[in-house]
Amino acid sequence: MQKLWVRNLAALCAAQLLTLIGFSSYLPFVPFFVQELGVESYDAAVAWSAAFSSGAAVAMMVFQPIWGVLADRVGRKPMLIRATAAGAVLAFSMSFARTPEMLVVIRVLQGMFCGTVAAALTLVASETPDAEMGFALGLMQTAQFVGNAIGPLLGGTISDAYGARTVFWVSSALMAVSVMLILLGVREDRKPEPSQHAISLRPMFTGMRQVVRGSSAVLLGALASVSFGAMVVSPILSLYVQSLAPNAPNLGTLAGSVTAASSVTSSAAAFLLGRAGDRLGQRRVLIVCVFGGAALFFPQAMVRSPYALLGIRALQGAFMGGVLPTANALLARMTPSSRRGSVFGLASSLQAGGRAIGPMVGAAAAGAWTMGSSFVVAGVVFLAIGLGVLLFVHPPSGQEAKALPPELSAKPATAGASGCSSPST
């Protein structure tokens, strides 16, 4: 009989693939869409694009710890269904936006009620044996990266052919299919205990006290900084492509291709490097990936062609693909299974904070200097992350891929749980 965790992993990867295709399909052309809604200048389009990204991230930062607590208390599968269904409804609602303000308000509601990435990661981390953690999280990250790669290409093509509003309808339909996959294909092994039916925020603070110390605290800071560094360039990327090729036909498709380039290579790298982390140690792989990603931000500030930008971002994706699966595997290994919902909720909240601040910093840097300066800021942030991990993150014992804290070694991860959070989904 097929192992339950393998079946769950397959269903969750398929669901996350469709969900991330849906979420990412409309992100590249948001600057162009706000121009359709009446915004005329480049600076205003950058500002509204930053508000679109940051508004959802701020809402997610506030609500993700709460959803994480609920995941530990009532089950992780219900939280994932809630997040995905909310994404479908709100993506459909975006198609009816008539002003930039309305679009941003709906996006903020997405941040409040969605968060499928952390939800799926929590479920996988709770149901997977610890010896397979890097493999499972790497495969999940691969599905997410593939979704982020296909989505912009699909959205750009549909936008050029049928208009931006059609993309929101397609996005909503894909997420609705994901809800059905989760309902029919995922089964939680964990059953809430009678005492867990009382909802309280106290477990959130208990989970915080357990992880906000030592290596785990630095790792949480590193995850937040990774999100910040990646999102610094988000509000200017499509407009940067437009400035490099102002007369290009099918601009939406070109911008979508540049946005997707790093996700294409990240999708393969996440699986391979997640598995390598199980064999070589997650910390080693994480350090190499962070420094490699940092080095490739700087040349992006100096390109003169969108195709050169596409090539560098594709190469950078090979390093970026290893960052999240290895960091999340390290964090899972440092956390008792019963607290992983709270801890991943906290991690998602901090990452959302990074996603909230990043676009505003990137937009400010582009406004004060040039759009290319946003890449320099991101590169400096990633260098700082690499130094932090190198100096302060240490695995629980000498063999980082094998040795576990006492709370984890007492029982397998599959004995007690299942999952709950998005690029900000």
Q: Which domains does the chain possess?
A: 4-187+204-409 (1.20.1250.20)
pLDDT by residue for the chain (425 residues), tens digit each?
A: 357 888 889 999 999 999 999 998 988 778 888 888 888 787 788 788 878 877 887 888 888 778 877 777 777 888 899 999 999 999 999 999 999 999 999 999 998 998 787 778 778 877 788 777 778 887 887 888 788 778 888 988 898 888 889 999 999 999 999 999 999 988 877 655 444 444 555 555 554 555 555 667 778 877 888 788 778 888 788 889 989 988 887 787 888 888 878 878 887 788 788 778 878 888 899 999 999 999 999 999 999 999 999 999 999 988 988 888 888 888 877 776 666 666 777 787 788 788 778 888 888 888 888 889 999 999 999 999 889 888 888 766 544 434 334 443 333 333 222 233 344 45
In whole angstroms, how far apart are CA 229 and each of 49, 112, 206, 324, 367? 17, 22, 29, 13, 18
Closest CA to 69 of 406, 340, 416: 340
d(CA 159, CA 164): 5
Closest CA to 120 of 86, 157, 80: 80
DSSP character string of 139-163: HHHHHHHHHHHHHHHHHHHHHHHH-
Burial of 186: CB neighbours in 10 Å, binned 0-12, 13-18, 19+: buried
What's the pLDDT score for residue 122? 78
Length of the chain: 425
Angle at which helices 76-94 and 100-113 cross, to 10°: 170
Angle at which helices 251-280 and 306-320 cross, to 10°: 20
User: In sequence order, which residues have a C-beta less than 8 Å from that of residue 145 and are 6 or more positions away?
Assistant: 263, 264, 266, 267, 270, 317, 321
Answer whether 124's CB lies under 8 Å from 190's CB: no
Phi-psi region of 405 (alpha: psi -120 to 50; beta: other; left: phi over 0): beta
Answer whether 253's CB lies under 8 Å from 306's CB: no
Answer whether 338's CB lies under 8 Å from 72's CB: yes
Place of tokens 């936006």: 97
- Output the six-digit token pair for 27: 């992100």
Q: What angle do CA 116, 119, 123 make, to 5 degrees?
A: 135
50 DSSP 8-state letter: H
What's the pLDDT score for residue 414? 30
Q: What is the 3-state secondary structure (H, E, C) of 305-318?
A: CHHHHHHHHHHHHH
301 DSSP 8-state letter: G
- Output the six-digit token pair for 386: 């690499």
Q: What angle do CA 174, 177, 179 make, to 5 degrees?
A: 115
**Rg of the Cα trace of the chain?**
20
What's the pLDDT score for residue 396? 60
What's the pLDDT score for residue 200? 54
Can you say whether the dihedral through the CA atoms of 192, 85, 49, 38 is positive or negative? negative
What's the pLDDT score for residue 400? 45
DSSP character string of 69-125: HHHHHH-HHHHHHHHHHHHHHHHHHHTT--SHHHHHHHHHHHHHH--HHHHHHHHHH
- Output the six-digit token pair for 158: 């549909």
Can you say whether the dihedral through the CA atoms of 371, 355, 298, 137 is positive or negative? negative
- Output the six-digit token pair for 294: 């940092």
